[in-house]
Amino acid sequence: MTTEPATAMRVEVRKGAYRDSVALMRVTREVAAVPGVEAALVAMATDLNLGILADMGGVAPEGTGPDDLLIAARAADDAALASALATAETELAAMSAGGDGAAPADVPPRTLRTAARQAQAQGTPATLALVSVPGRYAAAEAFDALEAGLDVLVFSDNVPVEQEVALKRTAEELDRLVMGPDCGTAMVGGAGLGFANAVRPGPVGVVAASGTGAQQVMCLLDAAGVGTSHCLGVGGRDLSAAVGGASTRRALRMLDEDPGTERIVLVSKPPAPQVAEEVRRLAEGLRTPVHTVLAGTEGSDITAAVADVVAAAGGSVPRWPSWLPVQTPPGRTGALRGLFCGGTLAQEAAAVASGTLGPVAFGGDPAGPEAGGHLVIDFGDDAFTLDRPHPMIDPAARTERFAAELADPAVAAVLADVVLGHGAHPDPAAGLVEALAKADPRRPHAVVSLCGAAGDSQGRDEQAERLRRAGAEVYGSNSAAARRAAALAAGAEPA
């Protein structure tokens, strides 16, 4: 089906042509970069994406649904439009040929179980499946992987908790591990999965009921010269009362049996008390020492926990990296606004800041500023990512709110995270730098928590330097950034 609502615009719909949403975002960026292209969209036809198409000035044919693929471009002239569509075809063909997560084109398997059988027949047996489909389909794919004899990482979010419980019960029966749902970060045998950083190998294993919490642990270890053996993400709900820590217990046992793991860090969002006690008893019975940090709870500090691990491993705790600006705005007291892409970093920041400022609200409407008070928002929460990319992939909504807070005279300090690594936006600092450049010189202070490793493709030091030149204070430790932002909101002197 094809419609052409404008001279230099074209909308194509391919019925039932499902593609991974993260891979399609890369295709959209390639098409948008074609000279003369004003807007581009290559995405599944969800309600959100149909709305984006309407904003572009396009209309999909009647009957288009979320299982259909949209290809749309608006360009300055017909030649640019033709070039855009050709680029889309080339990128989609590369996906079908085996790039960006698609199956090989010769005999493409239609299920994970078939793919596992093919790998076995080719002499390269698979052990792990990664599921990244809309949440309503994820459990079916994960069950298929488990029954094929695979461990499974469920990257998808918005999976009902009842399905998570059923998946993990089945995994226990089959002696398998389910990482997730909503498992944003893992590293197995040095291979990063989801959002993962380029960190050195080493003796510390990580079990994470959090995504950016795991990234912060591994990046700080890397900065201290200590490497990671494996990082097994288990999903943010694993230590809830409903799920009961099933994957956490399995992951701890797996790392305890790994000869390359000498210490384990368990990092989690606040757990259910009874589940935390059960996991604590299990950890005490393991041969491998376990260090636990519960981000977002009173007195918790991921950076301090990592320092303990480094010291226990015989290393030297470094001065964590920071980049301070040459020029900052004049100080003023007022509200703190924390705008985060990473949920665990957001929870830790709220907890740390409350030690200086008193109550800090957590949550909020990402559409517009709140009236007064200290506030931290997690833009990666499921409520904000339904049918839209995670902000670590596309930080546009967070960037818009950042600019709004810089213009609010009631705000004294704005705290934001920039998360680097595989899967993240190729230039996550760009939007913040642009907003700072456009802001009034009397704007609030800007403090950035930069979670990244020196080897990340985005260039940790380059990202930090651009933010520093734009006037932000930048810290490699999230707790240090939160503490500094809170102090500035309370009237501390500028850097």
pLDDT in tens, 393-413: 999 999 999 999 999 999 999
The residue whose two tokens read 């959090």 is: 210
- Coil/strand/helix, residue 123: coil
Interatomic CA distance for residues 479 and 322, integer angstroms: 12
Mean pLDDT for 50-71 is 88
* Phi, psi of 19, deg, nearest 5: -135, 155
Q: Starting from the edge strand earliest in sequence, which strands make up the sheet with 178-179, in order?
A: 128-131, 151-154, 178-179
According to CATH, the topology of domain 2-96 is Gyrase A; domain 2 (3.30.1360)
- Confidence class for position 55, pLDDT limits 50, 70, 90: confident
Interatomic CA distance for residues 196 and 186, integer angstroms: 7
Residue of 255 and 122 predicted with greater confidence: 255
Contact by Cβ (8 Å): 274, 283:
no
At residue 106, the pLDDT reads 53
Name residue 246's amino acid: A
**Predicted confidence (pLDDT) per residue in 140-166, tens digit:** 999 999 999 999 999 998 899 999 999
At residue 110, the pLDDT reads 72
Matching CATH number, 128-312, of 3.30.360.10, 3.40.20.10, 3.40.50.261, 3.30.450.40: 3.40.50.261
Mean pLDDT for 62-68 is 88
At residue 205, the pLDDT reads 98
Mean pLDDT for 415-429 is 96
**Predicted confidence (pLDDT) per residue in 181-192, tens digit:** 999 999 998 899
- Average model confidence (pLDDT) across the chain: 90
The residue whose two tokens read 């569509």 is: 85
Contact by Cβ (8 Å): 468, 474:
yes
At residue 287, the pLDDT reads 97
Q: How far is CA 430 from CA 218, 297, 399, 464, 466, in A?
A: 24, 32, 9, 11, 8
Interatomic CA distance for residues 143 and 268, integer angstroms: 25
Interatomic CA distance for residues 223 and 205, integer angstroms: 16
- Coil/strand/helix, residue 474: strand
At residue 98, the pLDDT reads 54
- Coil/strand/helix, residue 317: coil
Check whether the bond before 181 is cis (ω within 30° of 0): yes
361-368, long-range: CB < 8 A, 24+ apart: 366/397, 366/398, 366/401, 368/401, 368/404
pLDDT above 50 for 101:
no
- In the chain, the percentage of residues whose pLDDT exceeds 90 is 68
CATH number for the domain running over 322-489: 3.40.50.261
Interatomic CA distance for residues 464 and 223, integer angstroms: 15
pLDDT above 70 for 104:
no
- Confidence class for position 97, pLDDT limits 50, 70, 90: low
**Predicted confidence (pLDDT) per residue in 217-238, tens digit:** 999 999 999 999 999 999 999 9
**Predicted confidence (pLDDT) per residue in 252-264, tens digit:** 999 999 999 999 9
Q: How far is CA 185 from CA 78, 192, 321, 447, in A?
A: 42, 8, 22, 25
**Predicted confidence (pLDDT) per residue in 443-486, tens digit:** 999 999 999 999 999 999 999 999 999 999 999 999 999 999 99
At residue 51, the pLDDT reads 82
Q: Starting from the edge strand earliest in sequence, which strands make up the sheet with 2-6, in order?
A: 2-6, 9-14, 69-75, 37-44
pLDDT above 70 for 370:
no
At residue 112, the pLDDT reads 82
Domain parsing of the chain, residue ranges: 2-96, 128-312, 322-489
Strands 445-451 and 322-323: unpaired
Interatomic CA distance for residues 332 and 45, integer angstroms: 47
Contact by Cβ (8 Å): 271, 240:
yes
At residue 7, the pLDDT reads 67
Contact by Cβ (8 Å): 378, 337:
no
0.85 surpassed by pTM: no
272-275, long-range: CB < 8 A, 24+ apart: 272/239, 272/240, 272/241, 274/241, 275/239, 275/240, 275/241, 275/244, 275/245
Q: Starting from the edge strand earliest in sequence, which strands make up the sheet with 263-268, in order?
A: 191-194, 185-188, 228-233, 201-209, 263-268, 290-294
Identical topology for domains 128-312 and 322-489: yes
At residue 67, the pLDDT reads 84
pLDDT above 70 for 108:
no
